[in-house]
Amino acid sequence: MDYLDRQKIECTKVDVRGNAALMQKLKDLSGQTRTPTLDWDGSVLADFGIEELEKFLQNRGTIS
């Protein structure tokens, strides 16, 4: 979240802990229950670190 804030990329944080319905939605979306998981207009990046996030965003032209 801090990285996205520094890049001035708006996002919505959803806390799935303790919420069975949201956890199931995460599993349906990404095929797993690990976080963080990012859904960017239907493209999903699951269980990632900063390097994977940077590459994901670069591939979408969001950052250079």
pTM of the model: 0.85
Question: In the chain, where are the structural domains located?
Answer: 2-59
Quote the tokens at residue 30.
């990404």
pLDDT of residue 17: 92
Among 19, 14, 54, 57, smallest CA distance to 36 is for 14
Walk along the chain (64 residues) and give the pLDDT tens digit of each residue: 999 999 999 999 999 999 999 999 999 999 999 999 999 999 999 999 999 999 999 999 999 8
What pLDDT shows up at residue 64?
A: 84
Residues 46, 30 contacting (CB under 8 angstroms): yes
Residue 23: per-residue pLDDT: 97
CA 35 to chain CA mean position, Å:
8
Rounded CA-CA distance 23/54 in Å is 25
